[in-house]
Chain A
Amino acid sequence: GQQLNQSPQSMFIQEGEDVSMNCTSSSIFNTWLWYKQEPGEGPVLLIALYKAGELTSNGRLTAQFGITRKDSFLNISASIPSDVGIYFCAGQEGAGGGADGLTFGKGTHLIIQP
């Protein structure tokens, strides 16, 4: 499958700080998605992006679909303890065709220091 480069691998931040993470690919994707996995649970969808240049917010989370269609970023503003977890990006190939064309990044571990 395709390769997604997700960075950073891990982040150690103080509560209240803003967070930024991104994913890049050598291939074009038609959909970018961001998931969060909390300890002991499965990933949960945070934001889905379907159009190049699209900027979408979900509370304190903001994600953008890069204009080249080869990248996406996720920002979290004013982090709180419950933001701890692993954040995965995922890119989907094809014209809306197939979750089988979904590729996941390796995840960004977000750790919030008291």
Chain B
Amino acid sequence: EAQVTQNPRYLITVTGKKLTVTCSQNMNHEYMSWYRQDPGLGLRQIYYSMNVEVTDKGDVPEGYKVSRKEKRNFPLILESPSPNQTSLYFCASSAGHSTGELFFGEGSRLTVL
């Protein structure tokens, strides 16, 4: 089954404790992206990747890092989480950078205390 898998689905952590949200897709997609969803603000892009070893900032990259060492994986790293990073995070992928037809993961709800 074609899917985008995120882990963990739920996490409560404390300020400053580094964490990584993993994302993996099994569709051999070139393009992957991270979004955060906040009430009243919709979906905002954090980082995206056109292919292996190619990453770029989205609209709200501050406080986040990403890496794309393999085609299938695109982890989101919060080096020193802060309460304003409490949010619902979505990873997404698409077949090529020429399409906006994204497949989304189920989301990771992060709470930073």
Q: Residues of A with Cβ closer than 8 Å to B?
A: 1, 6, 31, 33, 35, 40-45, 48, 88, 90, 92, 96-100, 102, 104-107
Contact = CB atoms under 8 A, between A and B. Distances in A.
Contacts of A92: 100
Contacts of A96: 98-99
A106 B59 contact: no
Contacts, number: 66
B74 interface: no
B31 A99 contact: yes
Interface residues of B, number: 29
A43 B103 CA distance: 8
Contact of A48 (B31, B33, B101, B104): B101
Contacts of B44: 104
